[in-house]
């Protein structure tokens, strides 16, 4: 038990170190801006005096490390600076949208994970049958499709031809919960397809890898049914790789939302990011980048911790 | 020649179809000016014309011929993805081999840098860098190549680490061969099968990433014909039940499916599974 606690703590510290390194990289990337932010804001209209004044206002006269600490300190306290494009607080721009994005990603995860796991287990159970091959070809195809293709196919059939779902996810703070689910269902479906394919393939691979081992053969020889061999004997040992894949794919949802939110004009941080990049609104891009990286690192961390905990060998050290 | 032919005969149908599709795309890309009925950037009719004998797939949002842009799009889209993938591969493979051969602090430094870069979601990092450096083809290719090389680095390093420990590499070192010789003549040929399969996968990934960026309006810029931007420019047609804007997306999908089929077969070959 102590081993596990030690491992988990070490992993958490490593995660913290990663977060710091990532924040440094993000800050460094933005500091590489040719010219600087003041020039970017003023553009052609810049006079030397106004440039100097704005630099002073933005704190650009300070050394880079001081600005980094200042920026990081602000981030920790929830102060993300002000947007260049419209002078609003970045935190107020992000707040509502982050909640919307988490709602969308959560909905996609609720659909995708159970479906993918069941399909993966079924494919491993009936491996090399027609069912398995069909699922394998289908998932490979789903992985190969660009997200916007899947999204537009869904729009074409379900919203234009059949008129079941709206093609634009019009969501405002006042929208009721079920109405919100209904309007987010199409983007969530577009998001979940690729995720289902990935998780399902890895679940199948993890299980099939185990099925060749002697202990499974032993289980079969003593009379366990194929289903029992897979579900009771193989599945517990496949938990670690499966959880890792699930976490990685939930992390993938973070980048997947960028495209899907753009297609469905969904008011989330993905759409905000794309708009800010085309306006070159660096404070917003920087903040969104840091927040998504944070979520990404946390999910990976969670996967590692679950993998450590799920390994029974660590529970009973010799 | 006969060996290539034998290899072709052992290919499963899915890989054969994949290879044929890839060949078709390459041919279309190379001979685009010959095949396309109209020039790439010329306005030849009214906006959003329907399919007709004059314009087989109609015209786009500016009145340019859809079919011609689709054909020229093969050129731009595939060429840029190919360039970025190859660059990523050269960079990642060289650094990965170096890390495996030299070990010590070189390996430590490179691996830690890669760890940090990979801790940031790829598409998001690309968007950040694009907003810093602006959207031009050169920056696009460089950014994607450098970020993607991290994955090639990891694979090459892992594969090469296993090979470096083998006796024949030791023998080459003992007889006084230099690092470059060991990397190129002893390790690389034996690390090739997984790397070739990885090349296919990375190509798909880079291709889809560029398509996504172009779709967002941040990748290949107009007036160059490109499949991602073509979907974006003409997307309004979909709300009228017209499938024309989906054709470029389908073109992207078909190529990635084809490459994936071939890669699947290669992975099967290199893993030596006879299942």
Distance of CA A14 to the CA centre of its chain: 20
Give the mean model confidence (pLDDT) for residues B78-86: 93
Name the phi and psi angles at B12, rounded to 5: -70, 160
Longest dimension (CA), chain A: 86
**pLDDT value, residue B255:** 93
Q: ipTM of the predicted structure?
A: 0.84
**pLDDT value, residue A188:** 92
Give the mean model confidence (pLDDT) for residues B52-75: 82
Tokens 């969530």 label which residue?
A: A188
Whether the pLDDT of residue A314 is over 70: the answer is: no
Give the mean model confidence (pLDDT) for residues A160-168: 79
Mutation pick from B122, B131, B248 vs chain A, by most beta carbons of A within 10 Å, is B131
What is the signed CA dihedral for B178, B182, B183, B184, rounded to 10 degrees? 100
pLDDT in tens, A214-268: 888 898 899 888 888 888 888 888 888 888 888 888 888 888 889 999 998 888 8
**pLDDT value, residue B272:** 53
SS (H, E, C) chain A: CHHHHHHHHHHHHHHHHHHHHHHHHHHHHHHCCCCCHHHHHHHHHCCHHHHHHHHHHHCCCCCHHHHHHHHHHHHHCCCCCECCCCCCEHHHHHHHHHHHHHHHHHHHHHHHHHHHHHHHHHHHHCCCCHHHHHHHHHHHHHHHCCHHHHHHHHHHHHHHHCCCCCCCCCCCCCCCHHHHHHHHHHHHHHHHHHHHHHHHHHHHHHHHHHHCCHHHHHHHHCCCCHHHHHHHHHHHHHHHHHHHHHHHHHHHHHHHHHHHHHHHCCCCHHHHHHHHHHHCCHHHHHHHHHHHHHHHHHHHHHHHHHHHHCCHHHHCCC
Give the mean model confidence (pLDDT) for residues B111-123: 89
Q: How many Cβ pairs within 8 Å bridge chains A and B?
A: 140
**How confident is residue B237, by pLDDT bands cut at 50, 70 and 90?**
confident
pLDDT in tens, A102-134: 999 999 999 999 999 999 989 988 888 888 888
**pLDDT value, residue B67:** 87
**How confident is residue A312, by pLDDT bands cut at 50, 70 and 90?**
low
Pairwise CB contact (< 8 Å): B127 & A258: yes
**How confident is residue B243, by pLDDT bands cut at 50, 70 and 90?**
confident
Report the share of chain B in percent with pLDDT over 90.
29
CA distance B232 to B230: 5
Q: Are residues B92 and B152 in contact, defined by beta-carbon separation less than 8 angstroms?
A: yes
Whether the pLDDT of residue A50 is over 90: the answer is: no
Residues of A in contact with B275 (CB under 8 A): 128
Pairwise CB contact (< 8 Å): B128 & A18: no
Which DSSP string corresponds to B24-85? Answer: HHHHHHHTHHHH-SS-SS-B-SSTTPPP-SSSTT-B-TTSBBHHHHHHHHHHHHHHHHHHHH
Instruction: Look up residue A246 and give its two tokens.
Output: 């699930």
Whether the CB of B153 is below 8 Å from some CB of chain A: the reply is: no
**pLDDT value, residue A167:** 77
Whether the pLDDT of residue A173 is over 80: the answer is: no
Whether the CB of B139 is below 8 Å from some CB of chain A: the reply is: no
**pLDDT value, residue B275:** 41
**How confident is residue B242, by pLDDT bands cut at 50, 70 and 90?**
confident
pLDDT in tens, B28-49: 988 888 887 888 777 777 777 7
The lowest-confidence range among A31-40, A50-59, A288-297 is: A31-40
Q: What is the DSSP letter of B120?
A: S
Whether the CB of B257 is below 8 Å from some CB of chain A: the reply is: yes
Minimal C-alpha gap between B150 and chain A (Å): 15
**How confident is residue B20, by pLDDT bands cut at 50, 70 and 90?**
very high
Residues of A in contact with B248 (CB under 8 A): none
Q: Are residues B150 and B87 in contact, defined by beta-carbon separation less than 8 angstroms?
A: no
Q: Which residues contact B108 (CB under 8 A, 6 or more apart)?
A: none
Report the share of chain B in percent with pLDDT over 70.
97
Whether the CB of B167 is below 8 Å from some CB of chain A: the reply is: no
How many CA atoms within 13 Å lie on the side-chain side of A293? 30
Q: Which range, A1-5, A90-94, B154-158, has the best average confidence (pLDDT)?
A: B154-158
**Average pLDDT along chain A:** 84
Tokens 């078909």 label which residue?
A: B254
Nearest to A135 by CA among A124, A144, A146: A124
pLDDT in tens, A185-222: 899 999 998 889 989 988 888 888 888 888 888 988 99
**pLDDT value, residue B41:** 77
Pairwise CB contact (< 8 Å): A140 & B261: yes
Residue of A nearest to B238 (CA): A156
**pLDDT value, residue A36:** 66
């Amino acid at each position: 038990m102590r081993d596990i606690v030690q491992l988990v703590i070490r992993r958490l510290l490593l995660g913290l170190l990663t977060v710091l390194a990532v924040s440094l990289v993000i800050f460094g990337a933005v500091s590489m801006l040719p010219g600087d932010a003041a020039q970017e804001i003023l553009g052609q209209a810049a006079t030397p005096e106004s440039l100097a004044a704005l630099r002073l206002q933005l704190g650009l006269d300070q050394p880079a490390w001081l600005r980094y600490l200042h920026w990081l300190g602000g981030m920790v306290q929830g102060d993300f600076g002000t947007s260049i494009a419209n002078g609003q607080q970045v935190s107020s721009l992000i707040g509502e949208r982050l909640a919307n994005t988490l709602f969308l990603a959560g909905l996609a995860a609720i659909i995708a994970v159970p479906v993918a796991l069941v399909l993966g287990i079924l494919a491993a159970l009936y491996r090399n049958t027609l069912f398995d091959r069909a699922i394998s070809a289908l998932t490979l195809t789903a992985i190969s499709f660009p997200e916007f293709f899947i999204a537009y196919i869904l729009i074409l059939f379900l919203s234009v031809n059949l008129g079941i779902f709206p093609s634009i996810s019009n969501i405002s703070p006042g929208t009721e919960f079920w109405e919100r689910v209904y309007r987010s269902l199409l983007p969530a479906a577009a998001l979940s397809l690729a995720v289902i394919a990935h998780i399902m393939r890895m679940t199948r691979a993890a299980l099939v890898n185990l099925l060749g081992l002697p202990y499974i053969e032993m289980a079969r020889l003593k009379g366990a049914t194929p289903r029992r061999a897979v579900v009771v004997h193989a599945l517990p040992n496949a938990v670690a790789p499966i959880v890792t894949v699930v976490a990685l794919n939930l992390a993938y949802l973070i980048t997947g939302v960028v495209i899907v939110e753009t297609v469905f004009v969904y008011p989330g941080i993905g759409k905000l990011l794309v708009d800010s990049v085309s306006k070159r609104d660096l404070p917003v891009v920087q903040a969104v980048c840091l927040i998504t990286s944070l979520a990404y690192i946390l999910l990976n961390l969670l996967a590692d911790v679950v993998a450590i905990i799920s390994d029974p060998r660590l529970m009973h050290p010799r | 020649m006969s060996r290539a032919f034998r290899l072709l005969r052992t290919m499963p149908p899915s890989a054969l179809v994949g290879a044929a599709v890839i060949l078709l795309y390459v041919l279309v890309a190379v001979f685009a000016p010959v095949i396309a009925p109209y020039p790439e950037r010329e306005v030849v009719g009214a906006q959003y014309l329907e399919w007709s004998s004059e314009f087989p797939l109609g015209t786009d949002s500016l009145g340019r011929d859809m079919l011609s842009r689709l054909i020229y799009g093969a050129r731009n889209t595939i060429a840029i993805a190919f360039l970025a993938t190859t660059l990523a591969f050269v960079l990642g493979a060289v650094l990965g081999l170096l890390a495996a051969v030299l070990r010590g602090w070189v390996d430590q430094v490179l691996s830690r840098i890669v760890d940090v870069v990979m801790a940031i979601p790829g598409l998001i990092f690309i968007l950040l860098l694009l907003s810093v450096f602006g959207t031009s083809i050169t920056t696009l290719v460089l950014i994607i190549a450098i970020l993607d090389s991290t994955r090639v680095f990891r694979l090459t390093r892992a594969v090469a680490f296993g090979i470096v420990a083998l006796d024949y590499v030791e023998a080459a070192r003992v007889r006084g061969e230099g690092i470059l010789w060991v990397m190129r003549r002893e390790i690389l040929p034996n690390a090739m099968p997984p790397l070739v399969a990885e090349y296919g996968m990375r190509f798909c990934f880079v291709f889809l990433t560029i398509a996504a960026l172009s779709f967002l309006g941040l990748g290949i810029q107009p007036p160059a014909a490109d499949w991602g931007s073509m979907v974006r420019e003409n997307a309004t047609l979909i709300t009228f039940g017209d499938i024309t804007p989906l054709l470029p997306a389908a073109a992207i999908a078909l190529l990635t499916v084809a490459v994936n089929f071939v890669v699947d077969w290669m992975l099967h070959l290199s893993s030596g599974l006879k299942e």
